Amino acid sequence: MIRVDLHVHTMYSFDASIHPKTIVDQLYAHPLIKAIAITDHNTVEGYYKVRKLASAYQDILIIPGVEVSAVEGDLIVLGVAELPPTPWTVENVIDFARERGGVVAVPHPYRAYGLGDSAKNYDVDAIEILNGRAGPHINKLAENLAKAANLPGVAGSDAHRVSQLWTAYTEVQASSDTDEILKAVRKGLVRVASTRKSIHF
Ligand SMILES: [Zn+2]
């Protein structure tokens, strides 16, 4: 089993401030979490910076990702280190991810820019049922959505600032390998967990 924070922003997101080096240093030092997905808003630049810095360390894994501002709502693509072509409709982003073997997760469906109930209408792989920056009620709604859609539930801190890192993570039944982790997410071999008592799910 590996613990993965599947939703992390770097300073390459327009609204985030975390330096890639801070992410790598903290991930390396973290007692539990040993893998992360870099999911900046509409850019993969931060991912490449983090990956480069992380290559000097063993035992940590950086999964490529992006949080795409699709017109209908946000989508996270995991396992793909490039941006989809525009227009960024949900259907187009999903097609793009499928062609490249990526996993599509719906982040914070009931927060601002979330897909809400309409997530059920799309061929996505997972729902983020524990978001480190969403309240318990919002996360509970997301968990109910995942159950109704019969989709795996995943977790991530959605950190935009250093203090928000590692608050929520996903326990994945896989080794430290991106393809294995993505495969396990698709199969639902996942469990969400929090390092903060204030987050309930
Ligand atoms: Zn985010």
pLDDT at 78: 98
Distance in Å, CA 85 to ligand 1 centroid: 20
Q: Which of 3.40.50.300, 3.40.1010.20, 3.30.420.40, 3.20.20.140 would CATH assign to domain 2-194?
A: 3.20.20.140
Distance in Å, CA 156 to ligand 1 centroid: 9
pLDDT at 197: 59
Is the pLDDT at 113 greater than 80, yes or no?
Answer: yes
Domain ranges of the chain: 2-194
The predicted model gives 45-50 an average pLDDT of 98
Distance in Å, CA 16 to ligand 1 centroid: 9
More confident residue, 200 or 99: 99
Distance in Å, CA 41 to ligand 1 centroid: 7
pLDDT tens per residue across span 3-35: 999 999 999 999 999 999 999 999 999 999 999
pLDDT at 201: 42
Distance in Å, CA 164 to ligand 1 centroid: 12
pLDDT at 148: 97
Distance in Å, CA 74 to ligand 1 centroid: 8
Distance in Å, CA 40 to ligand 1 centroid: 7
pLDDT tens per residue across span 154-191: 999 999 999 999 999 999 999 999 999 999 999 999 99
Q: Mind giving me the DSSP string for the chain?
A: -EEEEEEE--TTSTT----HHHHHHHHHH-SS--EEEE--BT--HHHHHHHHHHTTSSS-EEE-EEEEEETTEEEEEES--SPPPSS--HHHHHHHHHHTT-EEEE--TTSTT--GGGGGGS--SEEEEEETTS-HHHHHHHHHHHHHHT--EEEE--BSSGGGTTSEEEEESS-S-HHHHHHHHHHT-EEEEES-TT---
Distance in Å, CA 187 to ligand 1 centroid: 23
Confidence of residue 195 (pLDDT cuts 50, 70, 90): confident
Distance in Å, CA 9 to ligand 1 centroid: 6
Distance in Å, CA 125 to ligand 1 centroid: 17
Distance in Å, CA 31 to ligand 1 centroid: 23
pLDDT tens per residue across span 63-112: 999 999 999 999 999 999 999 999 999 999 999 999 999 999 999 999 99
Distance in Å, CA 104 to ligand 1 centroid: 14
